[in-house]
Structure 1
Amino acid sequence: MTLREHIVELRNRLLKCVLAILLGTVGGWIFYNDALAFLKAPFEDSVAALAAESNLKPILTFTGVGDALTFKIKISALFGLIVASPVWLYQLWAFIAPGLHRNERRWAMLFSAIATPLFVGGMWVAYWTLPKGLEILIGFTPLDIQNLITLPQYLDFVIRTMLVFGVAFLIPLVVVLLNMVGVVPASALGKFRPYIILVIFVFAAVATPSGDPFTMCLLAIPMCLLFFIAEVIARLNDRRKKRQVDELLAD
């Protein structure tokens, strides 16, 4: 394809992505109340736990006249981006794939197949830990002070937490792929394992928006387990490569 044909193809695929996201945004506008209830559930669970232990009654609020409309548009757009993800991910893949070699295409497909469950699993762990994390953070509010949390601020906190967990769960997969292509040998992973574990806990402490030890451990411990699994896979892969080399030398 010529450069012009590539640009035309890119334009057409971007238009399809934008159209899919706009349609998803319309769906998000229709199901706004359900999406909002899903996002508010961790906060409500933390409030219920705090009410049983203290007199704290934090509430979600808006601070401006137009904040409610802006927030609804933001939630609808986020909903549309998530719902349309199969479309824009496919369009991205369809644009890149023709330029890849067969071997590169195979690794990319393997990465996509494994990365999606890991990313979703990380986001689910984050959503599951949010009530306890919010309870710990809000629990530091003095008894004679009312805690008013704006919905945009709360949404940013939830999204950042879920994205951090999702991306963190992909790191061991990257380690395995680097081992598959021969960049990172399993022996190096074993040699530097204590330092890697230390880096994981430091990363968890810095990356989690809440910063509380509970959320940090709930991110670091699964990352360590996934790293151990990645190391085992890397060792098995290195042994397989060694057997293949030995067989070639024997022949």
Structure 2
Amino acid sequence: MPIKTTGSPADDTEDDGQTKPFMEHLEDLRRTIIRAAMAFAVGMCIAIPAAPWILYILKLPLKWAGKDPSTFLQVLEVTGGLSLATQTVFWAGLLISAPFIIYFIWEFVFPGLTKREQGAITSSIGFALVLFILGVLTGYYLALAPGIKVMIWFSDWMGVNVTFFRATDYIRFVVILLLSFGICFELPIILLILGQMGLVTSRQLRDKRSVAIVVVLIIAAVVTPTTDPFTQLVMAVPMCLLYELCIWILWSKERKAAKEST
């Protein structure tokens, strides 16, 4: 059964440049999965010797929250040290290999897009990487330590004395929060891509500003692993600022296009 593709490169289609057999798509998918798995494996191999240093970096927010990581983080099982090392290497390997995995997925999807869609997404790749890093850094420096303090405060408020954190639970909490910030900071990229494709305009984004703020607050409340308003605001405020940046970028491009057309 042939599958229609548009805007695909010459070496990725049949002779007529319009269709590609279904089995060839499955072969491309298999190749993409293998390459992504290999990239992840290489990322984990790179992370293995750096695991103690990576763990040290992840423990710093706990120190900023007023707790000594050397005594506050504990391993309770015989195999706990191995589990901690495995988790650290796994998440670090995923982070290292993520750009390559995304590239391989993009390489698989790219031929099926129109040239306009290809151009819109390609021009946003660099900005997307910057936003992801900015989101991770925002979560690391601004949200983690206050979030940990709030979680400890809630335990004290409930009359439960917090004497330690399980090390594996702490690492999981930190990574989920950082990934949440990184992914949520990617949302403006969607608006820019839609704008470059002509599906939304800067005027429409300005008119829907109040709705966007409510949506951002809801996303921040759902995505952040902590329940405190401060952490949610740390995520929501930059996202609102990025929304305004998207409006300005689209307005600038629309103005430039209008000048060129006259």
Which TM bucket (shorter chain)? Answer: 0.7 to 0.9
Q: Rate the CA distance shift 1:203–1:15 in 2: closer, same or farther, 3 A.
A: closer
**Using the alignment, how far apart are the partners of 2:245 and 2:29 within structure 1?**
38
- 1:137 is matched with which residue: 151, 155, 163? 151
Alignment of 1:10-21 (within 5 A): 10-21=29-40
**Using the alignment, how far apart are the partners of 2:117 and 2:204 within structure 1?**
24
Q: CA deviation at 1:241?
A: 5.1
Listed one character per residue, the Cα deviations across residues 9-52 of structure 1 (whole Å, up to 9, x for unaligned) are 3323322322232232223222221111111111122125xx8x
Letter of the 1:68 partner, please give it.
G
**Using the alignment, how far apart are the partners of 1:75 and 1:220 within structure 2?**
28
Larger CA deviation: 33-42 vs 101-110: 101-110
In the alignment, is residue 120 of structure 1 matched against residue 167 of structure 2? no
- 1:173 is matched with which residue: 189, 197, 212? 189
**Using the alignment, how far apart are the partners of 1:197 and 1:125 within structure 2?**
19
Q: Quick check: 1:160–1:209 contact (8 Å CA) kept in 2?
A: yes
- In structure 2, the partner of 1:54 is none
2:66 counterpart SS class: helix
**Using the alignment, how far apart are the partners of 1:201 and 1:18 within structure 2?**
35
- 1:89 is matched with which residue: 87, 90, 102? 102
Q: Quick check: 1:133–1:212 contact (8 Å CA) kept in 2?
A: yes
In the alignment, is residue 188 of structure 1 matched against residue 204 of structure 2? yes
1:47 counterpart SS class: coil
**Using the alignment, how far apart are the partners of 1:237 and 1:198 within structure 2?**
27
**Using the alignment, how far apart are the partners of 1:74 and 1:123 within structure 2?**
18
Q: Quick check: 1:47–1:58 contact (8 Å CA) kept in 2?
A: no
In the alignment, is residue 107 of structure 1 matched against residue 105 of structure 2? no
Q: Rate the CA distance shift 1:95–1:199 in 2: closer, same or farther, 3 A.
A: closer
Q: Quick check: 1:58–1:149 contact (8 Å CA) kept in 2?
A: no
Q: CA deviation at 1:70?
A: 2.3
In the alignment, is residue 230 of structure 1 matched against residue 243 of structure 2? no
Listed one character per residue, the Cα deviations across residues 54-75 of structure 1 (whole Å, up to 9, x for unaligned) are xxx9712233333332232222
1:210 counterpart SS class: coil
Letter of the 1:164 partner, please give it.
S
- In structure 1, the partner of 2:8 is none
Output the TM-score relative to the length of structure 1. Answer: 0.82
Listed one character per residue, the Cα deviations across residues 69-103 of structure 1 (whole Å, up to 9, x for unaligned) are 22322221222222223432332233223333333
Output the TM-score relative to the length of structure 2. Answer: 0.79
Unaligned segments of structure 2, at least 5 residues: 1-19
2:73 counterpart SS class: strand
Q: CA deviation at 1:124?
A: 0.7
Q: Quick check: 1:58–1:146 contact (8 Å CA) kept in 2?
A: no
Q: Quick check: 2:121–2:193 contact (8 Å CA) kept in 1?
A: no
**Using the alignment, how far apart are the partners of 1:12 and 1:212 within structure 2?**
44
Q: Quick check: 1:97–1:105 contact (8 Å CA) kept in 2?
A: yes
- In structure 1, the partner of 2:57 is 38
- In structure 2, the partner of 1:202 is 218
Q: Quick check: 2:64–2:145 contact (8 Å CA) kept in 1?
A: yes
Q: Rate the CA distance shift 1:237–1:156 in 2: closer, same or farther, 3 A.
A: same
Letter of the 2:151 partner, please give it.
L
- In structure 1, the partner of 2:21 is 2
% identical aligned pairs: 27
Q: Quick check: 1:204–1:219 contact (8 Å CA) kept in 2?
A: yes
Q: CA deviation at 1:242?
A: 5.1
**Using the alignment, how far apart are the partners of 2:259 and 2:171 within structure 1?**
52
Letter of the 2:106 partner, please give it.
W
